[in-house]
């Protein structure tokens, strides 16, 4: 049961290049310097699974995800989606007995349940979108339909969020930047409400904010729109972790 998937260094390069993800942990050349395999972006695994349940992706649906064990370049994962209950589709990804899309906090899935959208207050960043980006994005997650546009808009939010964390504007972002102390955000969970599925042309606008608590906990919120029409709102929970610590967790070559 499920689809066997192996994400290569080239797949990761296409995905990260298209979505503007410059995290060195996904760079095979950088990771080889440490004798390690590159991390597959958790969003890459999630969106591959979401694509398998694309018929459930409609205006008003909700996507939720809990990220479990990491996956590395060249490792095989078995990814599938199935109906869990009326109006709910569960997403699964396994590799070597490890669960990639669930944790002690919960599962991943799609629910056909319209909820009231929460307005996101923060800094707006407009990111250009080219046709070549959309094509490069679609290759590694094996998607070629209109759903690809929504999935791209979701993945592209990581660039806007990282811009806010690494290149802050305003006091709020500067405070979180100082709190990060050069650490990297590692996603633990995602809750996303789809308002409408649109074809992004020219640019996407992202309004983002982040709140830090304790020593490692980070909550990031984002609203994505195109030409004044909101596509989705999302909340990410993340942990701030030092790069050297994450590298130590990677699989040896």
The pLDDT assigned to 140 comes to 86
Whole-angstrom Cα Rg for the chain: 17
Q: What's the pLDDT tens digit per position in 89-124?
A: 999 999 999 999 998 888 999 998 766 667 899 999
- Choose from 34-38, 140-144, 160-164, 226-230 the range with maximum mean pLDDT: 34-38
The pLDDT assigned to 118 comes to 74
Mean pLDDT of the chain: 92
On the CB side of 39, CA atoms within 13 Å amount to: 20
Is the pLDDT confidence value at 70 over 90?
A: yes
Question: Which pTM was predicted?
Answer: 0.92
Is the pLDDT confidence value at 53 over 90?
A: no
What domains can you pick out in the chain, each with its CATH number? 3-249 (3.10.129.10)
The pLDDT assigned to 152 comes to 92
CA distance 197 to 151: 10
The pLDDT assigned to 60 comes to 81
The pLDDT assigned to 43 comes to 94
CA nearest neighbour of 221 among 157, 175, 170, 178: 157
Is the pLDDT confidence value at 80 over 80?
A: yes
The pLDDT assigned to 149 comes to 86
CA 115 from chain center: how many Å? 21
On the CB side of 52, CA atoms within 13 Å amount to: 22
Is the pLDDT confidence value at 66 over 90?
A: yes
Mean pLDDT, rounded, for 3-8: 95
Backbone angles phi, psi at 11, to 5 degrees: -60, -45
Q: What's the pLDDT tens digit per position in 131-162?
A: 899 888 988 888 766 778 889 999 999 999 99
What residue has token string 């958790």? 42
Is the pLDDT confidence value at 1 over 70?
A: no
- Residue 56 is classified by DSSP as G
The pLDDT assigned to 115 comes to 67
The pLDDT assigned to 145 comes to 67
CA nearest neighbour of 172 among 221, 216, 119, 205: 221
User: Residue 229 is inside which H or E element, if any?
Assistant: strand 229-241
Burial class (CB in 10 A: 0-12, 13-18, 19+), 107: middle
Is the pLDDT confidence value at 187 over 80?
A: yes
Is the pLDDT confidence value at 243 over 80?
A: yes
The pLDDT assigned to 11 comes to 95
């Amino acid at each position: 049961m499920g689809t066997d998937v192996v994400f290569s260094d080239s797949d990761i390069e296409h995905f990260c290049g298209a979505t503007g993800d410059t995290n060195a942990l996904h760079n095979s050349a950088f990771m080889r310097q440490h004798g390690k395999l590159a991390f597959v972006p958790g969003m890459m695994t999630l969106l591959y699974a979401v694509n398998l349940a694309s018929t459930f992706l409609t205006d008003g649906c909700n996507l939720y995800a809990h990220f479990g064990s990491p996956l590395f370049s060249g490792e095989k994962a078995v990814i599938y989606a199935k109906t869990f209950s009326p109006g709910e589709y569960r997403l699964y990804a396994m590799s070597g007995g490890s669960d990639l899309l669930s944790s002690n906090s919960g599962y991943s899935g799609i629910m056909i349940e319209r909820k009231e959208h929460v307005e996101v207050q923060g800094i707006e960043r407009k990111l250009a979108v080219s046709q070549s980006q959309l094509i490069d994005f679609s290759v590694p997650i094996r998607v070629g339909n209109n759903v690809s546009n929504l999935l791209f808009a979701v993945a592209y939010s990581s660039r806007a969020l990282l811009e806010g964390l690494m290149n802050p504007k305003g006091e709020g972002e500067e405070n979180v930047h100082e709190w990060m102390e050069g650490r990297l955000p590692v996603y633990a969970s995602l809750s996303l409400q789809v308002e409408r599925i649109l074809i992004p042309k020219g640019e996407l606008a992202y309004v983002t904010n982040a709140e830090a608590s304790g020593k490692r906990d980070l909550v990031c919120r984002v609203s994505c729109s195109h030409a004044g029409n909101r596509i989705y709102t999302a909340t990410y929970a993340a942990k701030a972790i030092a790069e050297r610590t994450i590298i130590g967790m990677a699989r040896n070559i």
